[in-house]
Chains A and B, each alone.
Chain A
Amino acid sequence: MKKYNLKIIGCLVVVLGLISVSFAADSQVLTPKAVIPPASALSVKVSKISGDTWTSATSIDFSTLVFNAKYGIFTSICYYAVDVEIKSNAADWQVKHETTAIANGSATLDENINVTFMKQIDAWRAVKLLKVNFAESNGRVFSKNTLSGGQLRIYYGLATGEKSNDAPNAKPVDASKNFGNYKGTVKITLTEN
């Protein structure tokens, strides 16, 4: 009897041993986890362009305009480019361009400035998205999809009276414009969905 019992225990040990071996061969489920936080940034780079020379600037300041007696209009020696760099991992986003009137009392330069929105693909290639006068540039929105493959660049320049140069509703500053300091703002906002 004792001998029989030993046999049974031995079998159990063998069986248990097999089970143990069997457990060691099974896979263990692990759950890797990483949280990517929302990341977004909007930065603008303002460039003042005089002829072929680009210099860094912090505002869109046309300074004192120059009267062209031949055509009876005021011109500026410079124009501006604003590069809008957006870094966002949101599923969708929009960039909005808003303005307040460039005003001197009741007089404004809102119809005298061309605003050109470009999708800049690289340093040399760009696609024109829209060209309007300063007043009409207010409230314009460009989506992630529209700007896909490039980044937004906005040019600001005084109208010259040339149809080939000016936005449809832009006109040059003529001699009847009130003299004085004209001030306004441009606001660029990134909104994520």
Chain B
Amino acid sequence: MKKSFIIMFILMGLCLFVSSEVFAVDLPASAIVPGPSAIDPSVLSVIPNASNPKLWESYTDVTRTGKLEFTTSLPGEVLRLKTFIDDTDPDNIKTYNIFLPDNYFSIDVGYVWAGAPYVAKITVEFLLPTDGSPSLGDRATATFMGKSRKADGSEKEEEKGDAIGDGKYLLTSLNEQVDLTDDLDGKWLRLYVGIVAMDPDADFLDEDVSGAVPFVPGDAPGTYTGTLTITAGY
């Protein structure tokens, strides 16, 4: 017993001799990343590539006008009638005739930094037209995406997991709040605003939501409007 104590003592001594932590100093390290003081949306009218709608063929910055006008190159800028065939069920092939524009809108909600108070949330809502014109509300959707960049600074490709909330909302019922910390978590908000397509081959960005109504030949001609507001909350 006594012998084992001596051996243990010698071993402990050897351990201390081999390596001993003598001194340690802890330094706190900190930084405050300030929040944005205001929002600064940038609105682009996008013409998608004909064969791959995910790619942008061209775009026009319409931020200054503040007008999201769905147009085509047809005379009078009326919507273009397109035919879709839904052949997912061979026994029940459906054909749709839908009016569509050539463009959709991409709205990047940027920020301005000028000190506190800091923006904590962004509210996006749709207001019905007040001039008696028919509403665009159930004919168009807004898709909420959290955008981020790759290490090289280029935009990261969108995935379904980047969608915020339900992702896509009909304008008519749109009144969504996006929390900068919980929802965006370091990303920035991009809204895609487009006319309901009901395209059976659409991917997750183009899926239409419940209650969506496409423009069809039976609709009353005229100008369908409304107001999309994006508001910073503190």
- What secondary structure prevails in chain B residues at the interface with A? strand
Contact among B27, B32, B113, B181 for A181, CB-based, below 8 A: B32
A128 close to chain B: CB less than 8 A: no
Interface magnitude class on chain A? 35 or more
Bound complex: CA A190 to CA B35 (Å): 39
B25 close to chain A: CB less than 8 A: yes
* Binary contact track A31-58/B, C-beta < 8 Å → 1, others 0: 0000000001111101000000000001
* Binary contact track B23-50/A, C-beta < 8 Å → 1, others 0: 1111111111111100000000000000
- What secondary structure prevails in chain A residues at the interface with B? strand
B186 close to chain A: CB less than 8 A: yes
Given contact pairs A88-B22, A176-B148, A177-B186, A67 touches B113 in the complex (Cβ within 8 A): yes
Q: How far is the CB of A36 from chain B (nearest CB, A)?
A: 16
Given contact pairs A42-B24, A175-B111, A59 touches B19 in the complex (Cβ within 8 A): no
Contact among A43, A61, A76 for B28, CB-based, below 8 A: A61
By the criterion CB–CB under 8 Å, are A182 and B151 in contact?
A: no
A135: chain B residues at CB < 8 Å are: none
B21 close to chain A: CB less than 8 A: yes
Bound complex: CA A188 to CA B31 (Å): 20
Bound complex: CA A76 to CA B31 (Å): 9
By the criterion CB–CB under 8 Å, are B30 and A184 in contact?
A: yes
Contact among B26, B33, B36 for A185, CB-based, below 8 A: B26
By the criterion CB–CB under 8 Å, are B23 and A59 in contact?
A: no
Bound complex: CA A83 to CA B30 (Å): 19
B67 close to chain A: CB less than 8 A: no
Contact among B22, B25, B31, B186 for A178, CB-based, below 8 A: B186
By the criterion CB–CB under 8 Å, are A171 and B151 in contact?
A: yes
Bound complex: CA A46 to CA B26 (Å): 12
A-B contact pairs, 13 of them (CB 8 A): A59-B30, A61-B28, A62-B31, A63-B31, A64-B32, A65-B32, A65-B33, A74-B34, A109-B33, A178-B185, A188-B24, A189-B23, A191-B21
Q: B-side interface residues toward A, CB under 8 Å?
A: 18-36, 110-111, 113, 118, 148-149, 151, 180-181, 185-188
**Given pairs A61-B31, A191-B21, 4 additional interface contacts (CB within 8 A):** A42-B23, A182-B30, A192-B19, A192-B20
